[in-house]
Amino acid sequence: MSAKGIKEEIRSFIAIDLPLNFLEAIGRLQDELKIATKGVRWVRRGNIHLTLKFLGDIREELLGELGEILATTCKAHAPFELSIGRAGGFPNIDRPQVIWLGLMGDLEKLESLRQGIEKGCSSLGLTREKRPFHPHLTMGRIRNWRNVPVNLATLLNEVEAAPSGRFSVRAVHLYRSDLTRDGAVYTKLKSFPLKQEK
């Protein structure tokens, strides 16, 4: 609580982390695209993650209940595997505002986990996400289209999956996000393991 007695709100989100070797490979891909593109604000590789739910500003006193719900939900879902697919863009690849990498693998298990989290958050009065879930990793955002090459869509279509192989999802994480002049700073508040394999 602040000195004025106002309870703090925390900008936060729920996400899945990537292994370091995957982040490093995505970073190398970003470096290659930087050479051919301008006008893109690239996400720092350490900030790349798979968002399951963006919570926005939530009251600090909800964190305890939210943690209990996430712990229970995650224990009901077994670990699964994902891999990284092709590059794309929102709202479309011809004139994207967001450049991303898609995900493949056990997407049904991922969606089941996400829906469980969505249901749990809804029980706390948090707003349900109405948009369809498109699992992706945000690599960059377009700042100024005047500096973006006209062949950006071609470049993205030519991007191969990076990196290859699969990674295991064994936990979900609750993050705090603080906006600064140098970009967002993410702080991991707590981790919630998925069902332990016997």
CA pair distance 38, 147, nearest whole angstrom: 5
| 193 phi and psi angles, rounded to 5 deg | -70, 145
The catalytically annotated residue of 49, 77, 134, 173 is 49
Entry field: residues in the chain:
198
The catalytically annotated residue of 77, 134, 136, 173 is 136
**Three-state SS for 93?**
coil
Instruction: Name the token pair of 99.
Output: 């450049």
Instruction: Name the token pair of 171.
Output: 């936990």
CA pair distance 194, 155, nearest whole angstrom: 37
Confirm whether 134 is a catalytic residue. no
Provide the 8-state DSSP code for 92: -
Confirm whether 77 is a catalytic residue. no
Annotated catalytic residues are 49, 136
